[in-house]
Structure 1
Amino acid sequence: MKGLFKPRSRTPVELVQHLRELILFALRNPSDVPKKKREDKVRFLSSLSMAELGKTLVEIRTILFGEGQSEPNAEACSQLTQEFFREDTIRILIVCIPKLDLGSRQIAARVITNLQKQKVQGRLVAPQYMESNLDLLDILLPGYADDEIALPYGLIARELICHQVVAKYVLESEHMRNFFEYIQIETFEISSDAQATFKELLTRHKSTVAEFLTNNFDWFFVEYNSKLLESKEYITRRQAVKLLGDMLLDRSNMVVMVRYVSSLDNMRIMMNLFREEKKSIQMEAFHVFKLFVANQSKPPEIIGVLIQNKNKLLRFLAGLTTEKEDEQFEADKSQVIREIATLDTRERAITDSDNEAES
């Protein structure tokens, strides 16, 4: 510990080395402290260490983000980044975050997320590092269950998911099932953060998402429908139906979309969302519902329900308007109305044609 708290100007490399020493001191096992040291002295050193750790994080943040009108120095950022990844300081900083105060937690999270974008000798080093350290997500994502660290851990997790290898790891893990619980956490800030990470996972890497949804269609949409679309919380329902629309309308998910809109149970959920008082949910539900109507291979049970509810649906759609002029919405609505209005006539024509062919 000699010189641990000695104030002097440090190079970027020395700053990271100093930070590492402080973190390791903060993470030490209490049983490793010599018995001859008095408890009050140990507490004093610990307090001093955490204060110094916070100051060091501020210095590192200044190098990465600049200060005032001054831009970050590229060479200093490169040196600092190389040292962070070389000594695996990323990992121990993540592990140490629960021990930091609120302000230092936020700074640590910003430092870690910034390092994901930094280059050393012209190339990103974070992707290669993450390939060998995917288990960091096993530390970060369960943090949603802890009010103290949920937000900084969530911020870091979202940034790491920008790496496709990380997103694939999470999508194929049990963490995906846990998100349905995290999104329902009562603390609004935490549930919203979990929703943001969930959305990032399901929209960032198109081919990886399409593969995941195809291979996990049954359990995923059972959970999605029951826990999110049919949630008691308005904001959860609204975010869920919007995300569903984004996923189904993405061309990469064409196979998934066709399968989803071939289910009568799924269409009933959208029709139930039309009953919401909030127009925002009605609008988002419409963008999914139109896919059921536009499906040229609609199952007979879906056609039957559309015909049975034709008048109600036509009245509802006629009154569904946007606050601002939206030509695309109006065109989509007109098409859906025409499709529903002519269903009964077309079905009779098809039936008559089939009967004539049989005779």
Structure 2
Amino acid sequence: MKGLFKSKPKTPAEVVRQTRELLVYVDISSKSREPKREEKMAELCKNIRELKYILYGSGESEPVSETCTQLTQEFFRENTLRLLIICLPKLNLETRKDATQVVANLQRQFVQSRLIASDYLEANKDLLDILVSGYENMDIALHYGAMLRECIRHQSIARYILESEHMKKFFVFIQLPNFDIASDAFATFKELLTRHKSTVTEFLSKNYDWFFAEFNLKLLSSDNYITRRQAIKLLGDMLLDRSNSAVMVRYVSLKDNLMILMNLLRESSKNIQVDAFHVFKLFAANQNKPPEIVSILLTNKSKLLRFLTGFQIDKEDEQFEADKIQVVKEISAL
């Protein structure tokens, strides 16, 4: 008889609606420990986990495309995403993780060939301001950071962050004393500067002066080894990307940039030396070197040639050896 009175399973849309109602309750209710609040919080946690299972599947079943579509449509029909982001600090750690995974998955869900998450974020850009400012709160920084990286999969959203004052904040976040948060901020920073080629090129061209002044001073010249290592690798990724060729030519034409690179070549860390070499070779290979660049290279010619002759990496790399031979040739010919 028991089976006859089993409650009917909720549809994905019903789970989302109930989650939204519970989030509204959590957002406006007091922080008191009343039994009803505890009960509602437990129900909310259960619902968010259910949303995760619908989107990702469970051990026994794969996610169903149609079910995911229904969930996504209902999720973005009203302000469920806004409520979830605002209420995240009030959730327990496990539920925050579940919520982060739900938000991440929804950024990739197509509904009638459209990423409706992108449309929603376009109309609610202040949510991105909240996510970026999350780096200032240790408790939620990693969850908001993970959500933010998923949101900037959408080109228009990445452009919004790049064109905002938030970009200057990243130079602070990357140097935060908490290693995990600083690393997460750098991961977001790197994603912003490498994912959408045309948008990145436009940003670097428009903001060249202040951006590279900050990059050189705060990242490449940082006292922190990890920061220097991540920064020189990212600089190489940006300058060696063909879409940034005009920015690269501008960068390798300035003597201050060359001086920083030559200092990085002298680092005790082989990793930093190798990544610095990949940028330094662009200065050497430039066929239109300004006189001040030629002058610095000539002044240091014998030291550079001595260094390059003994410069080896641990594994065999034909491209590295070919690049080194070319750089030695360019500097010898000066």
State the TM-score bracket (shorter-chain normalisation): over 0.9
1:185 aligns to 2:164 (yes or no):
no
Distance of 1:24 and 1:8 partners within structure 2: 25
1:214 aligns to 2:205 (yes or no):
yes
> Which position in structure 1 is the counterpart of 2:250?
259
Distance of 1:201 and 1:8 partners within structure 2: 45
Unmatched tracts of structure 1, length 5 or more: 1-6, 34-38, 344-359
1:143 aligns to 2:158 (yes or no):
no
Letter in 1 for 2:309: A
SS at match of 1:45: helix
> Which position in structure 1 is the counterpart of 2:4?
none
1:119 aligns to 2:110 (yes or no):
yes
Distance of 1:297 and 1:178 partners within structure 2: 35
Distance of 1:254 and 1:123 partners within structure 2: 33
Distance of 1:238 and 1:256 partners within structure 2: 21
Letter in 1 for 2:38: S
* CA offset digits 1:118-169 (Å, max 9, x no partner): 1223432122222211221111001001100100100010011010110110
Pairwise CA distance, 1:9: 2.9
2:229 to 232, 238, 241: 238
Letter in 2 for 1:279: K
Distance of 1:319 and 1:53 partners within structure 2: 62
SS at match of 2:328: helix
Distance of 1:74 and 1:296 partners within structure 2: 55
SS at match of 1:27: helix
2:46 to 44, 51, 55: 55
> Which position in structure 2 is the counterpart of 1:72?
63
Q: Which stretch has the larger CA shift, 274-283 or 123-132?
A: 123-132
Distance of 1:69 and 1:193 partners within structure 2: 33
Pairwise CA distance, 1:191: 0.6
1:223 aligns to 2:214 (yes or no):
yes
1:13 aligns to 2:4 (yes or no):
no
SS at match of 2:28: coil
> Which position in structure 2 is the counterpart of 1:84?
75
Distance of 1:268 and 1:291 partners within structure 2: 14
> Which position in structure 1 is the counterpart of 2:272?
281
SS at match of 2:153: coil
TM-score normalized by the length of structure 2: 0.96
1:336 aligns to 2:330 (yes or no):
no
> What value does the CA root-mean-square deviation take over the aligned residues?
1.3
* CA offset digits 1:217-247 (Å, max 9, x no partner): 1000010000000011111000000000010
Letter in 2 for 1:226: L
Distance verdict in 2 for CA 1:213–1:122, change over 3 Å: closer
> Which position in structure 2 is the counterpart of 1:107?
98
Pairwise CA distance, 1:29: 5.2
Pairwise CA distance, 1:44: 2.1
> Which position in structure 1 is the counterpart of 2:3?
none
Runs of 4+ aligned residues of structure 1 deviating over 3 Å after TM superposition are none
* CA offset digits 1:287-308 (Å, max 9, x no partner): 0000011111111111111111
Letter in 2 for 1:14: E
> Which position in structure 1 is the counterpart of 2:26?
26
> Which position in structure 1 is the counterpart of 2:292?
301
* CA offset digits 1:311-333 (Å, max 9, x no partner): 11111111211211111110000
Pairwise CA distance, 1:262: 0.4
> Which position in structure 2 is the counterpart of 1:197?
188
1:45 aligns to 2:36 (yes or no):
yes
SS at match of 2:164: coil
> Which position in structure 2 is the counterpart of 1:165?
156
Distance of 2:69 and 2:80 partners within structure 1: 15
Pairwise CA distance, 1:274: 1.2
* Percentage of pairs with the same residue: 60
Q: Which stretch has the larger CA shift, 121-130 or 82-91?
A: 121-130
Pairwise CA distance, 1:10: 1.3
> Which position in structure 2 is the counterpart of 1:347?
none
Distance of 2:275 and 2:319 partners within structure 1: 14
* Equivalenced residues, count: 328
Letter in 1 for 2:20: R
Distance of 1:277 and 1:124 partners within structure 2: 47
Unmatched tracts of structure 2, length 5 or more: 1-6
Distance of 1:8 and 1:148 partners within structure 2: 38
* CA offset digits 1:76-117 (Å, max 9, x no partner): 111111000001211110111111111111110110110011
